[in-house]
């Protein structure tokens, strides 16, 4: 979780993570005709429209839908089971009134889908015929087609036909539709090869972005996180979805083929501008992960398939999908996403940042108290003063009165601004030079106030009791200083109830030590008059204000140093423009 809080780049899948993973067929294309399909989700009720008018499905549409039925491993029941894409194909066939023909056709063999082939085929037999049904990425299926079904018969597939199909594919994809091509052929004796297929048509299905994803992406931008979408879908589909979310607002798109054509030197120059990777394989994911790590990013990579395991292992934080992920992927990952939702990744990063911040607050608070104790005792010895704090009193401060507030700081509610800060440097330790200066400064302020109260005390016993009680009280004030590294007025005083309870317990305990007679000799205290309490409370408020002032000064110097290190806006824009010119030049050259 601590590593996730320092993540600087999220490489996320599209389907099911950025989208709802509930496919619905919206458009169908058969030669010379495009139909709209109505309906929502997995509801079997729907109509086929041509130019807004209801039409009957012809023979070409029927063959297309039948292949979607046969080339399918999903089950459409009260609760659909299987891949959402395949369920959508069953629903589109049901809308046309087709029964589940798989019950009457024996499946002889299956050539399963994989990320390299990007297609799937099944071989079925019925009525003495053996047919191969194929579905997959448009360009992959077209590569294996020699004929096309049109005008009620089979004809030779021409270049004109291919151009028309690709144009429709581009149109569908630009509307954020995921497009699959369908083909079939009758098999003769011999090997079952995916060649010489008859092209039947296309089905375009919508998988809308999750409603909460755009807000989560904006939160990532504010937090300084680079979000990269990786998908096996067509580049136009990927671009349309990315634009709807906002991912492509400030970057470019790169396909797997274009990535293969780039050398490592070329890729490292264009990688900062790439926000979307389309038509990629699991092997591409490994290269993308390695490149972002080489650029100095802490990479969170998502995956669900067996072939994604190497990329998850190579990333700093491997995130497996809990619903669609395989057991191998879950084993290879560092965390499993129960709901497969991108917004949950962002929430986990926020949680990681919050946990790390609270660990820092816990450590800094205890260290500041220890610094104050050491400086107080050391300064008293140098000034040849009696010890203002005795060993038993220091033990009480460390074990009882400081312990409870420190634990309360460990469960401090996360600040609203936590996702509006840039990621921390993972190589940076909890204790930095600036923090050491801050803690020592706080220690000196507390020590100075403690010694002043002790020096001006009436007698040694009373002065020591005042110093001891002041130290206990001021540490509770300082606990509120450490609740935030920003200005105290920006947080609610009562939002950390555990700290209120810790203070409510500490004050009566300290009062008991001061006023219960049998405890006085144990802790070397005497009862204090009311005016001593006024001094203690007043000095505590003064220390609180000074510590807030120290924080303000440190924030000022940090911002100033950051501005000096950071290139000007004009220089940054120029670097972006140079990278884009290089990228455009490489694309034209290829």
Q: Would you name the residues annotated as active-site residues?
A: 13
Q: Residues near 138 by Cβ (< 8 Å), separated by ≥ 6?
A: 165, 166, 169, 179, 180, 181, 202, 234
The token pair at 548 is 């807030």
* Gap between the Cα atoms of 583 and 261, Å rounded: 12
What number of residues does the chain have?
Answer: 590
Burial (CB count within 10 angstroms: exposed 0-12, middle 13-18, buried 19+), residue 301: buried
The token pair at 364 is 């800094």
Of 471, 441, 461, nearest to 526 (Cα)?
A: 461
The token pair at 357 is 């911040």
Q: Is 56 helix (H, G, I), strand (E, B) or coil?
A: coil
Of 88, 29, 91, nearest to 61 (Cα)?
A: 29
Q: Taking a C-beta distance cutoff of 8 angstroms, is the pair 381, 373 a contact?
A: no
- Residue 250 DSSP code: G
Q: Taking a C-beta distance cutoff of 8 angstroms, is the pair 359, 5 a contact?
A: no
**What HEC string does 459-520 produce?**
CHHHHHHHHHHHHHHHHHHHHHHCCCCCCHHHCCCCCCHHHHHHHHHHHHHHHHHHHCHHHH
Of 168, 277, 166, nearest to 229 (Cα)?
A: 277
The token pair at 152 is 């009620």
* Gap between the Cα atoms of 511 and 538, Å rounded: 17
Residues forming beta bridges with residue 135, ordered by sequence position: 120, 182
**Helix orientation angle between 235-245 and 213-222, rounded to the nearest 10 degrees:** 70
Q: Is 152 helix (H, G, I), strand (E, B) or coil?
A: coil
Q: Taking a C-beta distance cutoff of 8 angstroms, is the pair 194, 162 a contact?
A: no
Residues forming beta bridges with residue 199, ordered by sequence position: 148, 183
* Gap between the Cα atoms of 61 and 95, Å rounded: 12
Q: Taking a C-beta distance cutoff of 8 angstroms, is the pair 543, 446 a contact?
A: yes
Of 133, 57, 145, nearest to 94 (Cα)?
A: 57
- How many angstroms separate the Cα of 115 from the Cα of each of 16, 197, 269? 17, 21, 27
Residue 541 has phi, psi (to 5 degrees) of -65, -40
Q: Taking a C-beta distance cutoff of 8 angstroms, is the pair 393, 467 a contact?
A: no
Residue 404 Cα to chain centre, angstroms = 34
The token pair at 240 is 């349309």
């Amino acid at each position: 979780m601590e590593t996730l809080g320092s993540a600087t780049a999220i490489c996320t899948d599209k389907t099911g993570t950025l989208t709802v993973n509930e496919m619905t067929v919206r458009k169908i294309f058969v030669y010379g005709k495009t139909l709209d399909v109505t309906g929502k989700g997995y509801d079997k009720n729907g109509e086929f429209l041509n130019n807004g008018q209801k039409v009957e499905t012809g023979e070409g549409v029927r063959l297309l839908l039948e292949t979607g039925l046969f080339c399918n491993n999903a089950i459409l029941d009260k609760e659909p089971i299987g891949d959402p894409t395949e369920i959508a194909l069953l629903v589109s066939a049901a809308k046309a009134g087709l029964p589940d023909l798989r019950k009457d056709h024996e499946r002889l063999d299956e050539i399963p889908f994989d990320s390299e082939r990007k297609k799937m085929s099944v071989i079925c037999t019925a009525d003495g015929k053996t047919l191969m049904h194929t579905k997959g990425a448009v360009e992959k299926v077209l590569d294996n087609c020699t004929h096309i079904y049109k005008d009620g018969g089979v004809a030779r597939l021409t270049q004109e036909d291919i151009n028309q199909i690709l144009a429709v594919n581009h149109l569908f994809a630009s509307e954020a539709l995921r497009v699959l091509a369908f083909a079939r052929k009758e098999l003769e004796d011999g090997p079952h090869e995916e060649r010489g297929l008859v092209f039947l048509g296309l089905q375009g299905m919508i998988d809308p972005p999750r409603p909460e994803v755009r807000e989560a992406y904006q939160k990532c931008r504010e937090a300084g996180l680079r979000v990269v979408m990786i998908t096996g879908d067509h580049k136009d589909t990927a671009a349309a979805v990315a634009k709807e979310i906002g991912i492509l607002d400030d970057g470019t798109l790169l396909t797997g083929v274009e990535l293969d054509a780039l050398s490592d030197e070329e890729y490292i120059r264009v990688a900062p501008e790439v926000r979307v990777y389309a038509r990629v394989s699991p092997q591409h994911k490994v290269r993308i992960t390695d490149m972002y790590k080489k650029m100095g990013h802490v990479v969170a990579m998502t995956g669900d398939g067996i072939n994604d395991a190497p990329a998850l292992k190579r990333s700093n934080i491997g995130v497996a999908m809990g619903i669609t992920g395989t057991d191998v992927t879950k084993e290879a990952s560092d965390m499993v996403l129960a709901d497969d939702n991108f917004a949950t990744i962002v929430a986990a990063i926020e949680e990681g940042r919050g946990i790390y911040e609270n660990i820092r607050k816990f450590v800094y608070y205890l260290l500041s108290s220890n610094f104050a104790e050491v400086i107080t005792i050391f300064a008293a010895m140098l000034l040849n003063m009696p010890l203002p704090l005795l060993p038993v009193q220091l033990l009480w401060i460390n074990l009882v009165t400081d312990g409870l507030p420190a634990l309360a700081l460990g469960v401090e509610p996360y600040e609203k601004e936590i996702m509006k800060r840039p990621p921390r440097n993972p190589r940076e330790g909890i204790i930095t030079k600036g923090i050491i200066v801050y803690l020592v400064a706080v220690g000196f302020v507390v020590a100075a106030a403690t010694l002043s109260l002790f020096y001006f005390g009436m007698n040694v016993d009373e002065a020591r009791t005042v110093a001891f009680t002041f130290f206990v009280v001021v540490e509770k004030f300082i606990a509120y200083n450490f609740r935030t590294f920003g200005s105290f007025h920006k947080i609610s005083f009562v939002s950390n109830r555990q700290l209120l309870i810790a203070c409510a317990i500490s004050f009566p305990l300290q009062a008991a030590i001061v006023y219960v007679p049998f405890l006085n000799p144990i802790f070397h205290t005497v009862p204090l008059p009311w005016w001593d309490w006024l001094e203690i409370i007043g000095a505590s408020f003064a220390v609180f204000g000074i510590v807030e002032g120290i924080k303000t000064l440190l924030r000022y110097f940090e911002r100033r140093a950051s501005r000096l290190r950071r290139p000007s806006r004009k220089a940054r824009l120029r670097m972006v423009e140079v990278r884009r010119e290089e990228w455009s030049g490489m694309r034209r050259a290829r």
